[in-house]
Chain A
Amino acid sequence: MILVLIDHDRGELDQLSLQALTAARKLGQEVEAIVVGKDGASLATIVGQYGAKILHVAAHADLTDYTPMASGRALKDLVEKLKPAAVLAAGSPRGNEQLAHLAAFLDLPMAAECFEISLSSSADSPHKVSRSRWAGNLIEDAHVYSQLLIATIVAFSTEPESAAGPAASIVEFAPSLTPSDTQVRVMSRDAGDTGGGVTLADAKVIIAGGRGVGGSAGFAKIEELANLLGGAVGCSRVVTSSGWRPHKEQVGQTGTKVAPDLYLAAGISGAMQHIAGMKNSKTIIVVNTDPEAPIFKYADYAIIGDLHQILPALTAAIREATREAKA
């Protein structure tokens, strides 16, 4: 059996967990899922649809929000009871963190950011994994010497596929939490200035700007186009370290990893760490004055030129085109 940790934010599913469920099904064994916190029980329908027969719900009065060490404890309790062949989770900051706690509790190896897994066929042979390194620029093939494989699935490496399964049956259990397990948890939140707009992680369209935008004022052109397309504004690391835009808009290895339908990169040269955060986007369009910029290698379409002229012209042309379509 493969056990998949389904991450959620107070009952709201983390979409990357569906990729982990899909990857788990490909291993050819029964799949069961676990959520930590009672709020997660509402996910039984979608978890079942993506192929898990049972949804184990770790329920405890203290588990009302993200509590990473407690997740590790709940996973450990369940692993010791059910003896799965592998425990998988999404290769997100949370997925990696919660499985790291499991690995630390059990003192077993963990392979983070895998995109291929081949389970060992006998007790004395290792599992084989291919995992992403160097911000996705290198692939490492590795052996994992452990009966239980603990691994996370690199974001956007697996397209979530529905198994059209019935809702998972819910099995509630009380994890054996100690006071230190629940010491570090979300105490409070600040919604920040999302302004009601789409967040990077949810956006279908992202218009991103880099050094070539030239300053915070130049981002008005990016914002206008993003608003017109119902998308979000993204940016590269140099933009946030220069203070032109807030950190929550940073796309890349050190920011948010995204895979929207359309990623338009304007004035971004394409440092390795930025590419790592956006290369799985469905369509990538580049606007850049320098045709030698590395980002061209990852793009589907490109315009060579100054974003300060091209973006306003594009915004105007899209307005015109949508007006025609409506008429």
Chain B
Amino acid sequence: MDVLVCLKRVPLAGGTLILTPDSKDIETKHLGFGISPHEENAVEAGVQLVEQMGGTLTLLTLGPPDAEEQLRTQLAIGATRAILLETDGQEWDPQGTAAALVDAINAEETKFDLIIFGAESADSAGYQIHVRVAHALNRPIITNVKAMKIENGTLSCDRVVSAGREHYEAPLPAIITVRDGLNIPRYPSVPGRMQARKKPIDMKKMQAHVPKLEKLYLTVAPSKSTGAEILGKGVEAVPALVEILKKIGTI
């Protein structure tokens, strides 16, 4: 079982986002970096599959040279090796990113049985790279997976919807996107971190890409109101709240 997990380095933003002076990006001077939440589940799923079935787990990312930091952390969790498609730090649009990932996957000798993405990136939420990769590689794709198993070369997955669960199946090789809740991602161990330093990362410099979805600038979304009307402290405020519920028609 050879698994590939695609990742994205993103800033770990807290409650408030601050923009760079040119309004093109988030000011990251004082921020740490990580990967998107669902991607931690993607790596965990890959590690578990290789533990159960043998094989290799490869990580793939497109990003700045500093994305090595995120790859090393995930290598420490149990991945075998990683590929870093180096950009100059500019954001790539989804079409360009998907094409670069496809080229990198096609250039590999390993024919990955399963390619795993997180369901959405924390920062850009374009909802399409995985689908484009599936089309280019002519593979089935199941998205938003919250439970999965592989038996006799068939992948079975569940997707959670508001009214319950939908069940999907596809033959391998396949592509999935996974959601938070699929598993509980483990933390890297100290020996894992030591080993990760020596694990191979293939670096490949990418040529600048001309986007068809071109970001012009960012603005911080206004919050709903200037703040809440404080009805009071403790149970003494409950009658005031009941009046509000009457006013808005809840009771």
Contact = CB atoms under 8 A, between A and B. Distances in A.
B249 A261 contact: yes
A205 to B, nearest CB: 6
B239 A297 contact: no
A166 interface: no
A159 to B, nearest CB: 15
12 contacts: A104-B128, A104-B135, A109-B94, A110-B126, A132-B221, A139-B220, A240-B181, A241-B180, A262-B250, A279-B224, A282-B248, A304-B237
Chain B interface helix/strand/loop/mixed: mixed
A111 interface: yes
B212 A109 contact: yes
B163 A199 contact: yes
Interface of B: 13-15, 17, 26, 37-38, 93-95, 119-120, 122-128, 131-132, 134-136, 138, 140-144, 146, 158, 160, 162-171, 179-181, 184, 211-221, 223-225, 227-235, 237-239, 241-242, 244-246, 248-251
Nearest to B238: A313
A141 interface: yes
A298 interface: yes
A214 interface: no
A133 B213 contact: no
A23 interface: no
A81 interface: no
Given A110-B126, A187-B167, A303 B241 contact: yes
Chain A interface helix/strand/loop/mixed: mixed
Given A96-B127, A137-B221, A184 B212 contact: no
A294 interface: yes
A15 B154 CA distance: 34
A305 B244 contact: no
Interface stretch (A37-45, A50-58, A316-324): A316-324
Given A133-B125, A138-B219, A310-B234, A241 B213 contact: no
A139 B218 contact: yes
A133 B121 CA distance: 10
Contacts of B239: 317
Nearest to B243: A321
B45 to A, nearest CB: 16
Nearest to B118: A254
Contacts of A145: 211-214
Given A103-B132, A183-B170, A305-B237, A191 B163 contact: yes
Contact of A133 (B140, B162, B218): B218
What 8 pairs between A and B have smallest CB-CB spacing? Answer: A192-B164, A299-B228, A96-B127, A302-B228, A100-B131, A100-B128, A104-B135, A109-B212
A153 B163 CA distance: 23
A65 B131 CA distance: 19
Given A138-B221, A301-B241, A306-B234, A113 B162 contact: no
A64 B184 CA distance: 35
A272 interface: yes
